[in-house]
Amino acid sequence: MAYLSASEIPAELRERAARIRLVAFDVDGTLSDGKLLYGDGSELKAFHVLDGLGMKLLRDYDIEVALITARESNVVQSRARELGLRHVYQGARDKLETLEHLTRSLRIEPGQVAYMGDDLPDLPVLQHVGLSAAPANAHAWVRERVYWCSTARGGGGAGRELCDLILLAQGHADTILKRYLPGGGE
Protein backbone atom coordinates (compact mmCIF):
# COMPACT_ATOMS: atom_id res chain seq x y z
CA MET A 1 0.00 0.00 0.00
CA ALA A 2 1.25 3.47 -0.85
CA TYR A 3 1.03 5.77 2.17
CA LEU A 4 0.37 9.50 2.03
CA SER A 5 1.63 10.29 5.52
CA ALA A 6 3.73 8.66 8.21
CA SER A 7 0.70 8.40 10.50
CA GLU A 8 -0.96 6.03 8.01
CA ILE A 9 1.89 3.53 8.25
CA PRO A 10 1.26 0.78 10.82
CA ALA A 11 3.45 1.33 13.88
CA GLU A 12 5.64 -1.78 13.56
CA LEU A 13 6.25 -1.16 9.84
CA ARG A 14 7.07 2.49 10.56
CA GLU A 15 9.57 1.40 13.25
CA ARG A 16 11.27 -1.04 10.89
CA ALA A 17 11.44 1.53 8.08
CA ALA A 18 12.78 4.21 10.41
CA ARG A 19 15.90 2.09 11.12
CA ILE A 20 16.86 1.52 7.47
CA ARG A 21 20.31 2.66 6.32
CA LEU A 22 20.63 0.43 3.24
CA VAL A 23 18.00 -0.48 0.65
CA ALA A 24 18.91 -3.29 -1.75
CA PHE A 25 16.91 -4.37 -4.76
CA ASP A 26 16.79 -7.39 -7.00
CA VAL A 27 16.52 -6.24 -10.62
CA ASP A 28 14.57 -8.62 -12.88
CA GLY A 29 10.96 -8.73 -11.73
CA THR A 30 11.53 -6.05 -9.11
CA LEU A 31 12.96 -2.96 -10.83
CA SER A 32 11.94 -4.31 -14.24
CA ASP A 33 8.82 -6.23 -15.20
CA GLY A 34 10.77 -9.48 -15.34
CA LYS A 35 10.50 -9.96 -19.07
CA LEU A 36 13.78 -10.61 -20.88
CA LEU A 37 13.75 -9.06 -24.34
CA TYR A 38 16.51 -10.02 -26.75
CA GLY A 39 17.14 -8.71 -30.23
CA ASP A 40 20.14 -9.33 -32.48
CA GLY A 41 22.58 -9.75 -29.61
CA SER A 42 21.26 -6.93 -27.44
CA GLU A 43 19.13 -7.10 -24.33
CA LEU A 44 16.36 -4.67 -23.48
CA LYS A 45 14.89 -3.90 -20.06
CA ALA A 46 12.34 -1.28 -19.07
CA PHE A 47 12.96 0.57 -15.81
CA HIS A 48 10.37 2.84 -14.21
CA VAL A 49 11.39 6.46 -13.76
CA LEU A 50 9.60 6.58 -10.39
CA ASP A 51 11.95 3.93 -9.00
CA GLY A 52 14.98 5.90 -10.14
CA LEU A 53 13.94 9.12 -8.42
CA GLY A 54 13.09 7.16 -5.28
CA MET A 55 16.62 5.73 -5.16
CA LYS A 56 18.11 9.20 -5.70
CA LEU A 57 15.98 10.57 -2.86
CA LEU A 58 17.19 7.82 -0.53
CA ARG A 59 20.78 8.72 -1.35
CA ASP A 60 20.02 12.41 -0.63
CA TYR A 61 19.33 11.32 2.96
CA ASP A 62 22.45 9.14 3.29
CA ILE A 63 20.59 5.88 2.82
CA GLU A 64 22.75 3.56 0.75
CA VAL A 65 21.21 1.85 -2.28
CA ALA A 66 22.38 -1.42 -3.83
CA LEU A 67 21.40 -3.61 -6.74
CA ILE A 68 21.97 -7.35 -6.30
CA THR A 69 21.13 -9.53 -9.28
CA ALA A 70 22.02 -13.04 -10.38
CA ARG A 71 22.07 -12.05 -14.04
CA GLU A 72 24.67 -9.89 -15.77
CA SER A 73 23.56 -7.13 -18.08
CA ASN A 74 25.12 -4.04 -19.60
CA VAL A 75 21.68 -2.43 -19.37
CA VAL A 76 21.70 -2.76 -15.56
CA GLN A 77 25.18 -1.26 -15.38
CA SER A 78 24.07 1.67 -17.55
CA ARG A 79 21.01 2.34 -15.38
CA ALA A 80 23.05 2.13 -12.19
CA ARG A 81 25.63 4.54 -13.61
CA GLU A 82 22.85 6.96 -14.62
CA LEU A 83 21.48 6.89 -11.06
CA GLY A 84 24.94 7.22 -9.49
CA LEU A 85 24.67 3.92 -7.63
CA ARG A 86 27.93 2.76 -6.07
CA HIS A 87 26.85 -0.72 -4.99
CA VAL A 88 26.01 -2.86 -8.01
CA TYR A 89 26.47 -6.63 -7.83
CA GLN A 90 25.76 -8.61 -10.97
CA GLY A 91 26.24 -12.34 -11.38
CA ALA A 92 25.54 -12.76 -7.65
CA ARG A 93 24.77 -16.46 -7.33
CA ASP A 94 24.55 -16.18 -3.54
CA LYS A 95 22.70 -12.94 -2.88
CA LEU A 96 22.84 -13.35 0.89
CA GLU A 97 26.62 -13.71 0.86
CA THR A 98 26.83 -10.62 -1.37
CA LEU A 99 24.61 -8.61 0.98
CA GLU A 100 26.53 -9.76 4.06
CA HIS A 101 29.81 -8.66 2.46
CA LEU A 102 28.28 -5.26 1.67
CA THR A 103 26.81 -4.75 5.15
CA ARG A 104 30.13 -5.66 6.79
CA SER A 105 31.97 -3.16 4.60
CA LEU A 106 29.40 -0.43 5.36
CA ARG A 107 29.15 -1.41 9.07
CA ILE A 108 25.39 -1.80 8.81
CA GLU A 109 23.43 -4.37 10.82
CA PRO A 110 20.86 -6.68 9.11
CA GLY A 111 18.04 -4.89 10.97
CA GLN A 112 19.05 -1.67 9.20
CA VAL A 113 18.59 -3.21 5.75
CA ALA A 114 15.53 -3.31 3.51
CA TYR A 115 15.50 -5.69 0.55
CA MET A 116 12.95 -6.03 -2.24
CA GLY A 117 12.85 -9.19 -4.32
CA ASP A 118 10.31 -11.16 -6.28
CA ASP A 119 11.32 -14.81 -6.60
CA LEU A 120 12.79 -17.82 -4.80
CA PRO A 121 16.49 -16.86 -5.13
CA ASP A 122 15.66 -13.75 -3.08
CA LEU A 123 14.23 -15.67 -0.10
CA PRO A 124 17.52 -16.11 1.83
CA VAL A 125 18.10 -12.35 1.76
CA LEU A 126 14.47 -11.54 2.50
CA GLN A 127 14.59 -13.76 5.60
CA HIS A 128 17.78 -12.03 6.81
CA VAL A 129 16.93 -8.30 6.68
CA GLY A 130 14.99 -5.95 8.93
CA LEU A 131 12.44 -4.97 6.29
CA SER A 132 11.67 -7.55 3.62
CA ALA A 133 9.52 -6.39 0.71
CA ALA A 134 8.13 -7.70 -2.56
CA PRO A 135 6.34 -6.20 -5.56
CA ALA A 136 2.63 -6.94 -5.91
CA ASN A 137 3.30 -9.51 -8.63
CA ALA A 138 6.08 -11.40 -6.85
CA HIS A 139 5.82 -15.17 -6.73
CA ALA A 140 3.20 -16.24 -4.17
CA TRP A 141 5.75 -18.13 -2.05
CA VAL A 142 7.75 -14.93 -1.75
CA ARG A 143 4.76 -12.64 -1.09
CA GLU A 144 3.64 -14.81 1.83
CA ARG A 145 7.11 -14.67 3.42
CA VAL A 146 7.89 -10.96 3.30
CA TYR A 147 7.01 -8.31 5.83
CA TRP A 148 5.51 -5.87 3.29
CA CYS A 149 4.20 -5.98 -0.29
CA SER A 150 3.83 -2.98 -2.55
CA THR A 151 0.64 -2.28 -4.45
CA ALA A 152 2.68 -1.69 -7.61
CA ARG A 153 4.09 -4.45 -9.80
CA GLY A 154 7.77 -5.04 -10.45
CA GLY A 155 8.93 -2.51 -13.05
CA GLY A 156 5.81 -0.45 -12.36
CA GLY A 157 6.90 1.66 -9.41
CA ALA A 158 7.18 -1.03 -6.70
CA GLY A 159 10.67 0.17 -5.80
CA ARG A 160 9.44 3.74 -5.42
CA GLU A 161 6.75 2.63 -2.99
CA LEU A 162 9.43 1.11 -0.78
CA CYS A 163 11.60 4.23 -1.06
CA ASP A 164 8.66 6.48 -0.16
CA LEU A 165 7.72 4.27 2.79
CA ILE A 166 11.23 4.61 4.21
CA LEU A 167 11.44 8.35 3.53
CA LEU A 168 8.05 8.90 5.19
CA ALA A 169 8.96 6.79 8.23
CA GLN A 170 12.20 8.72 8.63
CA GLY A 171 10.43 12.08 8.50
CA HIS A 172 11.78 13.36 5.16
CA ALA A 173 8.54 13.73 3.16
CA ASP A 174 7.84 17.37 4.02
CA THR A 175 11.38 18.45 3.15
CA ILE A 176 11.21 16.59 -0.16
CA LEU A 177 7.85 18.11 -1.05
CA LYS A 178 9.09 21.63 -0.24
CA ARG A 179 11.85 21.09 -2.77
CA TYR A 180 9.37 20.36 -5.55
CA LEU A 181 6.30 22.47 -4.75
CA PRO A 182 6.07 26.08 -5.97
CA GLY A 183 6.77 28.45 -3.11
CA GLY A 184 8.40 25.71 -1.05
CA GLY A 185 5.17 23.91 -0.22
CA GLU A 186 3.37 26.85 1.39
Q: What is the model's pLDDT at position 44?
A: 83
Give the confidence band of 185 by pLDDT, cuts at 50, 70, 90. Answer: low
Burial readout 27-36 (b: 16 or more C-beta within 10 A, e: otherwise): bbbbbbbbee
Where in the sequence is the domain holding 65, given as residue range(s)?
8-185
On whether the CB atoms of residues 153 and 137 are closer than 8 A, the answer is yes
CATH, residue 166: 3.40.50.1000
Residue 49 domain-assigned (yes or no) = yes
Residue 153 is given by DSSP the state: P
Q: Domains in the chain: how many in total?
A: 1
On whether the CB atoms of residues 68 and 59 are closer than 8 A, the answer is no
- Note the pLDDT tens digit of each residue in 60-102: 999 999 999 999 999 999 999 999 999 999 999 999 999 999 9
- Note the pLDDT tens digit of each residue in 102-122: 999 999 999 999 999 999 999
